[in-house]
A = this chain, B = another copy of it.
Amino acid sequence: LGYGPPRGPADLRERIAERIARQEGYAASPDDVLVSGGNSQGLDLALTMLTGPGDIVLVESPTYALALQMLRDRPLEVAAVPMDANGIDVERLEGMVEALAAAGRKPRLLYTIPTFHNPTGVSLSPERRRVILELARRHALILIEDDAYREIAYEAAAPASLWATDPEAPVVRLGSFSKSLAPGLRVGWINARADLLERISAAGLLESGGCVTQFAASVVARALSGPGYDDHLHALRRSYASRRTALTAALRAHLPAGARFVEPAGGFFIWLTLPEGVTSARLLPVAEEHGVSFASGSRFSTDGDDGSVRLAFALLDEQTLAEGARRLGLALRNMPSPAH
C-alpha cells in the first residue's frame, strides 16, 4: 500500500516476462516490462514521453476510434495509412515515410494494431511484419504496437508481437489484461526496446506516484500465479470463437450480395463492408427499426469514410448474434433507395 517502484510490482513483471518467453519465443526479463494502467494509459504515457509538438503520427485507417481521440488531445499531426485484409499496406506506408522525408519531415511514430485489429479483425501478414520492422529500423520510425487482443486467439495462437520478433527495432508494445481478465482493473504493460523503455520510465508521473495502477496490478499478479488464468483463457477463447462462428455463419446466410467481411481469427470484431452506395449513417436508423445496432464505420476512419460498420460479438450469445445477423440482413434489404 506504500509507494512502489515506477515500473510496477516486481511479481507481476516476472509473471508477464514468463508468459512472453513461453508464448512469443523471446526470453524477456522483468526489466523489459513496465506495468501500465491499461493500454490507453500506456499510449498516453508513450505519447507524453516520445512525441513533441507538431510531430507527425501515422495511424492505420480505419483504427481504434479512441486512440485517434487521444492523439487529437495533443499537438500532433495525424496522417493515415490504408489497410487491407493483410493489415496495414506497407508499400503505401513506405511511400508516405519516404515522401515525408523528401519534404524534410520525419514521422515520429506509427500507431498500429497488427494482431486482431480493432475494428477490422484482421492481422498483419508474416511477410508484412518483416517489412514493417525493417522499415521502422531504417527510418527510426517508432512502432506503437497496440496488442490488446493477443490472448483472444481462436483456432491458432496469435503471431509473436512485433516487439518480441525484433526487440532491437524501435517498437513499443502495449499489452493488456483488459480483454483477457477484466477491463475495470485497468492493468496492462509496456515492452519496448531498452532505450525507449528507459525514456518512458523516466516520466515524472511515474517518479512521483509510482505505477499508476499498483494496487490492481498486485491483484493481477496473484491471479497469474496459478494455472487458473490459463484455464480461464481457454474457456474465453472457446466461448468467443463459438460466438464469432455463430455470427459469421448467420451473416453469410442473411446478408445481401455486396456486403463483405473477413472472418476474424481472433479479437472481438467483424468489419462489415456495406454494399455499394450504402453508408452506415443511412443504415443505422433502419437497422434500429429492425432491433439491431452497430458502431458506425466513420468513427474509426480518419477521413469520414462511412461504408463499413463494426459488429462486436463478444458480449452476446450465439442465438442473439444469429438473430442480429438476420435483422441486419432484413434492414439492408429494406433500405429505401437513395434519392436521385
Contacts and interface: CB of A to CB of B under 8 A. Distances in A.
A204 B71 CA distance: 8
Interface of A: 1-4, 37-41, 44, 48-49, 52-54, 66-75, 178, 182-186, 203-205, 207-216, 219
Contacts of A213: 37, 186, 212-213, 216
A185 B215 CA distance: 5
* This protein's copies in its complex: 2
Contacts of A1: 182-185
A209 B48 contact: no
Nearest to A4: B184
Contact of A184 (B3, B53, B73, B205): B3
Given A48-B44, A53-B75, A2 B183 contact: yes
A39 B209 CA distance: 8
B204 A66 contact: yes
Contact of A49 (B41, B71, B73): B73
A56 to B, nearest CB: 15
A177 to B, nearest CB: 11
B207 A215 contact: no
Given A48-B44, A53-B75, A186 B208 contact: no
Contacts of A44: 48, 205
A122 B39 CA distance: 39
Contacts of A72: 204
A208 B48 CA distance: 17
The winner among A40, A182, A207 for most chain B CB atoms within 10 A is A40
Nearest to A48: B73
Contact of A212 (B3, B49, B71, B212): B212
A208 B183 CA distance: 11
Contact of A208 (B40, B49, B52, B184): B40
Contact of A69 (B4, B178, B208, B210): B208
**Which one of A41, A70, A183, A209 has the greatest number of beta carbons of chain B within 10 Å?**
A209
7 contacts: A1-B183, A1-B185, A38-B212, A39-B209, A41-B205, A69-B204, A213-B213
